[in-house]
Structure 1
Amino acid sequence: MDAGGPKGKQKSDINVTPLIDIVLVLLIVFIVMVPGLAKAMKVVVPQVIQTTTPPKPDPNNPPVVISIDKDGKLMLQADPIDADGIKQKLPDIVMLQPLGYRKIFLKIDEDVKFQNAVDALDAIRVASDTAKKKSLEQADKFQGQDGGDVKVAVSILKRPAAATAAPTNG
């Protein structure tokens, strides 16, 4: 068997032919790919409008606030209500909000069980679906717009650390 060197010794030169083949293939790939990379879509980034004061609430359209106290009791605005009541009353309240601005604020006490918050969100989702179906049924009144889904903003009421911390006796 021939090892390529004189008198049966191995040849110490590196065979660069496969290396050149790989480099040429990569060069061709990059030559083909570069024009395709230049065809990117132009993106318009939305501008942020910063205001120092929040807009004043519309007196004709007060925000819908559902709150859950630490005992797990639901309140719609200032009235006590249960989850079934939310499913029944909320669609009509949501229908009064302007199209595209249907929002519900959910205030949750930090000590509320997770399941109570999930139940409230589920009731809001069912009420949102019902309101959307009612809007679609009355499409001629709204000129074909369904108003979209109800957006829910959730805030958690946290108490100051001093109010929740137990006193320590040293």
Structure 2
Amino acid sequence: MTIPSPRSRKKARIEIIPLIDIVFFLLATFVMVSLSMVKMQSVPVNLPVASTSVPQDRQDYAAITIAEDGSLFFNKESVSPDQLIAKLRKFKEENLDPKIFINGDEKSYLGHAIAVLDDVRKLGISKVAIETRPKSSAAP
């Protein structure tokens, strides 16, 4: 025989509000981390410094990198000057509004950059930017 207790027995409950808080926190964290990830399409080089450097929109673009020794890279892939023209032509066909970012080591020759810029313009690509570092982040 059971004796009834004056206190009512509480049933176990799953509290959903703290669970929702945790899910939203994880969702917000994931969104912030994914937005902060930058799509790097170029080979790391020591960029020249410019006081008028302005951040650019980096969506749907191709990066051409000129290394210190003059070697060329198209989106991290080593290419010859002839291969670069073919890749640029293909990139222009695949994109309605092609954008090209040219970045070169500050010790590379200006002639290499001018030759690349000339090749880009011969193909009719007019949205071209030369990447630099802002003066404040320059190495001493």
Give TM-score scaled by structure 2 length: 0.51
- Cα deviation for residue 88 of structure 1 reads 1.8
CA separation in 2, counterparts of 1:81 and 1:55? 25
Give the alignment of 1:5-154 within 5 angstroms.
57=59, 62-98=60-96, 101-126=97-122, 128-129=123-124, 149-154=125-130
**Residues 109 and 156 in structure 1, CA contact (< 8 A), matched pair in contact too:** no
- Cα deviation for residue 81 of structure 1 reads 0.7
Q: Which runs of 5+ in 2 are unaligned?
A: 1-55
CA separation in 2, counterparts of 1:56 and 1:103? 9
CA separation in 2, counterparts of 1:124 and 1:56? 18
2:109 maps to amino acid: K
Superposed CA RMSD: 2.7
- Cα deviation for residue 70 of structure 1 reads 1.4
Q: Which runs of 5+ in 1 are unaligned?
A: 1-53, 130-148, 163-170
Identity among equivalent pairs (%): 25
CA separation in 1, counterparts of 2:86 and 2:129? 20
Rate the CA distance shift 1:110–1:85 in 2: closer, same or farther, 3 A. Answer: same
**Residues 91 and 98 in structure 2, CA contact (< 8 A), matched pair in contact too:** no
CA separation in 2, counterparts of 1:116 and 1:107? 11
Bigger-Rg structure (1/2):
1
Structure 1 residues 41-84: Cα deviation after superposition (integer angstroms, max 9, x where no partner): xxxxxxxxxxxxx8673xxxx42111111111110001001211
**Residues 101 and 129 in structure 2, CA contact (< 8 A), matched pair in contact too:** yes
How many aligned positions are there? 84
Match of 2:26 in 1: none
Match of 1:155 in 2: 131
Structure ranking higher on relative contact order (CA contacts 8 Å, 6+ apart): 2
